[in-house]
Structure 1
Amino acid sequence: MSYANLLPEDTLVITIAINGYGFLYQRNIASQRRYAQRNHYHYQAVTRPYYSPLGMEVAWLKLHLIRYALLSGYKQVLFVDADAYIQPQCPPLSEAVQDGYSIYAARGYSDRVNSGVLLLLSSPESIAFLDRVISMRDKAIPDSDDVGWGENGHVIHCLKDEPSFFELSNKWNNNSDPGLADYIRHFSAGPLRQRYQFSRPAKALFICLKLANGIRRRLAAHDLNVTVELDKLAQQCLTTYPQLNHTHR
């Protein structure tokens, strides 16, 4: 795909903030929406359902929704974690894209790829990469790649031999350096987490919702099948947010 032929409206910026994280990171989500508006991209914050039994494994959902959006007609998708703030000086995505590459990410504070910011262009290679990572969800990966939960370790593992991958500057996903003139500041588990200021009402609402969700999980009398729950959740999100389909933008 030639980037010269890509129109702004063919771009989707997306975050996932279900299980109450939409309340907790309202300021970040607003910054992401402003970035999309400045560049005339489509933006979608996936904040519902307010409860999923998947807990932290909801992180896998990003791969399913990115894949669907690309297959529906979007030419590029930028995924940004809800705990990431897009700075006013963040340039358009055309400044990140390089000829011959369709998968983009930066290293985090652990010196491994951090999947909290992912940029994928529509290509057979990017779809094949997503399929590969998703298909490996139940498979073990080397300890050197594993992060303990979610999809990040599998992304790290699969990008090691991916020729379509281009490593971005950590300006595009800074979760380690408070003094960096970054584009996206990521308040993930790491050196910057303590620097994020939660509003008291949002934090109180999040805690209440988290407690309620914890009770619901304990009352569930069955073993959780993550793959089945992920498929159900993805379908629910696609029904709730038809804008994830390019034809509904």
Structure 2
Amino acid sequence: MFSIATNGYDKIFQACLDSHQKYADLQNYDYRAFTKSPPSGISGTNSAWLKVAIILRALEKGYQNVFFVDADALIREYTPPIDSVFCQDKFVYMSVESSGNFNSGVIIVVNSPQAIKFFKNLLLRADVPNSLLPKSDRCLYENGHVINLAKNSPIVQIIDPKWNYNYNTNIGEGEKEYISHGRELEAWKQKPHAKKPPLSLFQSLLVRIEQGPRYFLLNRLLKFYEHEYNF
């Protein structure tokens, strides 16, 4: 089980990270909050894509299950264990928003060759601009590619939105969410928000050329975090 809270997010969302640790302790899960930044720094976009690289590496190392939770997600004390959502022949579990699109802020993975292939394919998309995706799939950071890849994948299972309750999801009347994502208002107000307009396809391509392949950068970042956090 892990979260990524770089660039001061660990301070802003400390209460959320504390809830992760409490849940992990209760369920006897191994938990890591990746809060350090490498000497060269790490952008918000690369922090988001890093989750894909970490999930893949954890699967390749033989972890039986991998549970990712965004840093701004608060886990309630009554949340059941992740194996309560498991079903036959499904290996990646996420909830969808009211739009019908997947939200990658909470991802549960069962180790299997199919899951490893899924995240390998996802990581290979790290250098593909969101602008190339269908308009209905476009979303911030890696989430657009998660949506695009997951919506037609037979190994992905939609789970109850209680596992990822945010401002774009609905749960049944009288029901309580398990994970409250981005709804801790006071902390969320401190979160830096992008003020620049989205880049055009041409601009996105120029940025990728200037910065170099993200795929290789993510592998370098992965080595740093493996060494620092021993996972």
Q: What TM-score do the two structures reach when normalised by structure 1?
A: 0.76
For the aligned residue pairs, the C-alpha RMSD in angstroms reads 2.3
Distance in structure 2 (CA, Å) of the matches to 1:104 and 1:53: 27
* TM-superposed deviation, 1:34: 0.4
Cα deviation per residue 1:60-115 (whole Å; 9 max; x = unaligned)? 00010011111112100000000100001100112111122111000124431000
Divergent runs of 4+, >4 A: 177-180
* TM-superposed deviation, 1:142: 1.3
Cα deviation per residue 1:108-163 (whole Å; 9 max; x = unaligned)? 2443100000001100110000011111222322111011x311000000012211
- For structure 1, the 5+ residue unaligned runs are 1-12, 208-221, 245-249
Report the equivalent of 1:118.
107
Alignment of 1:128-139 (within 5 A): 128-139=117-128
* Pairing 1:224–2:216 present: no
- For structure 2, the 5+ residue unaligned runs are 193-208
Shift in CA distance, 53/40, structure 1 to aligned 2, threshold 3 Å: closer
* Pairing 1:145–2:145 present: no
* TM-superposed deviation, 1:224: 2.2
Distance in structure 2 (CA, Å) of the matches to 1:57 and 1:108: 23
Report the equivalent of 1:41.
29
Q: 1:167 aligns with which of 123, 133, 158?
A: 158
Alignment of 1:56-205 (within 5 A): 56-139=45-128, 140-147=132-139, 149-176=140-167, 177=170, 180-187=175-182, 192=183, 195-198=184-187
Percent identity of paired positions between Structure 1 and Structure 2: 32
Q: Which amino acid aligns with 1:150?
A: Y
What secondary structure is seen at the aligned counterpart in 2 of 1:133? Answer: helix
Structure 1 stretch displaced more, 124-133 or 171-180 = 171-180
Shift in CA distance, 100/224, structure 1 to aligned 2, threshold 3 Å: same
